[in-house]
Amino acid sequence: MSLSPLPLSYCTNVHPGVTLAEVEDGLARYAALVRQRFNWPLAAGLWLAEPVVKEILSDANGEHRLCVRLAERGLTCHTLNAFPFGNFHDTRVKENVYLPDWSNPARLGYTLQCAQVLAGLLRHTDEGSISTLPLGFKGFEHPPTFIDAVLDQLIQCARGLAQIAERTQNTIRLAIEPEPLCLLETTTEAIDFFDRLRDRARRQGSLEAVQTHIGLCFDVCHQAVEFEDVAESIRRLDRAGVRINKVHISCALEIGDPMKNRAGREALKRYVEPRYLHQTIAKMPDGQLARLADLNEGFLANPPADFAAASAWRVHFHVPVYVEGFGPLATTRPALREALMAVSALDYAPHLEVETYTWQVMPGAGRVDLVEGLTRELLATEQLLAEIPFRSTQA
């Protein structure tokens, strides 16, 4: 049994950066200070938007320069977040974060460029991971050929990652991240898709590359919003041969008995904001689920019948992982220990990364100094990891 022996990462999509200078500024203003307060080895899970990746690769020594900047601040990097292609801190991100989708050649090109950069940041023979979007958004229209195009591009990506491994001796694994209301959102959908991907790769003579380089990013917040038993989800993925290459340590909001919890519904109004999509899922007493694309005040003022009949709602709003609740609202923090216990039973070690990106849109008392908040998250996560039995020092 094992958990990753690598330094815990936090995802830098929490601070803006659409130029290399802005990325380096974020490392200096936040990551370096968090590292000093954290007082343990720390990794930056870099979010490098498409313009930043191009800027790095336009310089023959670009990867080396970034590696030096990380080392100067006592940081390493073994994972990238290549989910947001453009400006993740734009005034309105919402469903635009799913563009370009995985049928678009621009997504493939960007991902392989990210892999090239990451290979330059890793030590010789180290492994890296890159998280990416769950193929596309269910709210968009897709042509009948969409999934075939996605499958072919992911196979091309696996071949490209295999070439990078041959050239650099660094194995870089793609981590597709299921998310509510996306084309991959449930564990069942993920398993079914990987069956199709492996079948197509086998027919194209690329099964080994796909098996080695393509897997999942298991975001605990996302699967908790789906009301999944996260530990059983991880076990199901393992039994199906779907490798989890990365785990996002994250929490969602929850309101129990929402129609009786008037204070909770009032509190949820403060989490309606214009930048990010906050998918909301309701669980009925019989276990059936209802889905809403984005939390909004109209919905809260007059919930539809299926939501009104629900025993609980969960909201895709990443909240600090050290928080059990905000007044009348709970969080899905208990799912974190369940997920990490299940991960510790795997015979390999996914990369572990704290990913709370909503600090700037957090309402009221939840909005704290970013360095302070990130430090508290990482300390709480390390304490949680220390409680997991059978920790191994082996990768």
- Any domain includes 267: no
Number of C-alpha atoms within 13 angstroms, CB side, residue 243?
18
- Any domain includes 245: yes
CATH of the domain at 231: 3.20.20.150
- Any domain includes 67: yes
Tell me, rounded to whole angstroms, the distance of Cα 176 from its chain centroid: 9
- Any domain includes 298: no
- Any domain includes 259: no
CA of 187: how far to CAs of 127, 178, 284, 362, in Å? 25, 8, 19, 29
Spatial strand order of the sheet with 325-326 comes to: 289-292, 280-283, 312-319, 251-256, 329-331, 325-326
Token pair for 315: 């909201």
pTM over 0.85: yes
- pLDDT tens for residues 324-382? 999 999 999 999 999 999 999 999 999 999 999 999 999 986 678 999 999 999 999 99
Rounded CA-CA distance 239/220 in Å is 19
pLDDT tens over the chain, length 395 residues: 579 999 999 999 999 999 999 999 999 999 999 999 998 999 999 999 999 999 999 999 999 999 999 999 999 999 999 999 999 999 999 999 999 999 999 999 999 999 999 999 998 889 999 999 999 999 999 999 999 999 999 999 999 999 999 999 999 999 999 999 999 999 999 999 999 999 999 999 999 999 999 999 999 999 999 999 999 999 999 999 999 999 999 999 999 999 999 999 999 999 999 999 999 999 999 999 999 999 999 999 999 999 999 999 999 999 999 999 999 999 999 999 999 999 999 999 999 999 999 999 999 866 789 999 999 999 999 999 999 975 443 33
- Any domain includes 293: no
Number of other CB atoms surrounding residue 133 within 10 Å: 26
- pLDDT tens for residues 103-130? 999 999 999 999 999 999 998 889 999 9
- Any domain includes 90: yes
- Any domain includes 154: yes
Token pair for 160: 């490209």
Token pair for 19: 């130029």
Full domain range(s) for residue 224: 9-251+332-386
For the chain, the domain total comes to 1
Which residues, other chains included, contact 10 with Cβ-Cβ below 8 Å and sequence gap of 6+?
A: 31, 34, 42, 43, 44, 45, 353, 354, 355, 374, 377, 378
Name the packing angle between helices 334-344 and 370-386 (round to 10°).
Answer: 50
For residue 281, give the DSSP letter: E
Which residues, other chains included, contact 98 with Cβ-Cβ below 8 Å and sequence gap of 6+?
A: 133, 136, 137, 140, 182
Rg (CA), the chain: 20
